[in-house]
Structure 1
Amino acid sequence: MVETLAVPTLVEPDEIRLGSGRSRRFQGSEHGAGISYFYIDNQPGQGASLHWHPYPETWVVLEGEATFVVGDQQIHATAGDTVTGPAYVPHKFTNTGTGTMRLIGIHASAVIIQTNLDPSSSSGTE
């Protein structure tokens, strides 16, 4: 059996940008990676609507403040904090600070699988 070595890949922000903003969606399977992520850049009041994934998700707050709802728990997090959410548990977050909130939502999957629970939300935008 011959092993194939993985090739390092650089993915520039414009390649994975969501819409016209600064947020990005990295789908690991498209780049030879075993994880996926959302890089979120939100203004006060913005965030993700209620949804769930069939795998755990981990968020790292890079800047600002966010309030997460994970199941029946509400968690206030600030820059430097890490929040975790188990598989199949509905969750959402909102920028509850006064400035820009930036976070990384790490998906324990090479493919992002998301079930939105708010009918007005758009699919796959975290």
Structure 2
Amino acid sequence: MTTASISEGVVAAGDIRIGTGRSRRFEGSEHGADVSYFYVENQPGEGPGVGDGVLRILGIHASPVIIQTFLD
């Protein structure tokens, strides 16, 4: 049985926050992980969201880096 702290190896949201908002970007390669993710949370009027509610997006990548392709 191990007695390691639960928080050992956990990356805090504040450490991967994008700017001053609530969005986060986790690149697994920076933390010895083979998975990456991004999380976006925009309030009405922020970002590209349209409507009255909060926009939340979670993208999980089975890769140590986030792979993006922008289309014209």
TM-score (norm 1): 0.44
Q: Following superposition, which runs of at least 4 residues in structure 1 exceed 2 angstroms of deviation? A: 43-47, 115-118
In structure 2, what is the Cα distance between the partners aligned to 1:117 and 1:103?
19
Q: Partner residue of 2:5?
A: none
In structure 1, what is the Cα distance between the partners aligned to 2:34 and 2:51?
32
- CA offset digits 1:32-72 (Å, max 9, x no partner): 2211000111133634xxxxxxxxxxxxxxxxxxxxxxxxx
Aligned pairs for 1:1-126 within 5 A: 9-44=9-44, 46-47=47-48, 95-118=49-72
In structure 1, what is the Cα distance between the partners aligned to 2:59 and 2:51?
18
In structure 2, what is the Cα distance between the partners aligned to 1:100 and 1:21?
13
| 1:102 positional shift | 1.9
Q: Which has the higher contact order (CA 8 A, sep 6+)?
A: 1
In structure 1, what is the Cα distance between the partners aligned to 2:17 and 2:67?
18
Which structure 1 segments of 5+ residues have no match?
1-7, 48-94, 119-126
Structure with a larger share of its residues in strand = 1
Count of residue pairs the alignment pairs up: 64
In structure 2, what is the Cα distance between the partners aligned to 1:30 and 1:104?
19
TM-score (norm 2): 0.71
In structure 1, what is the Cα distance between the partners aligned to 2:22 and 2:30?
20
Which structure 2 segments of 5+ residues have no match?
1-7
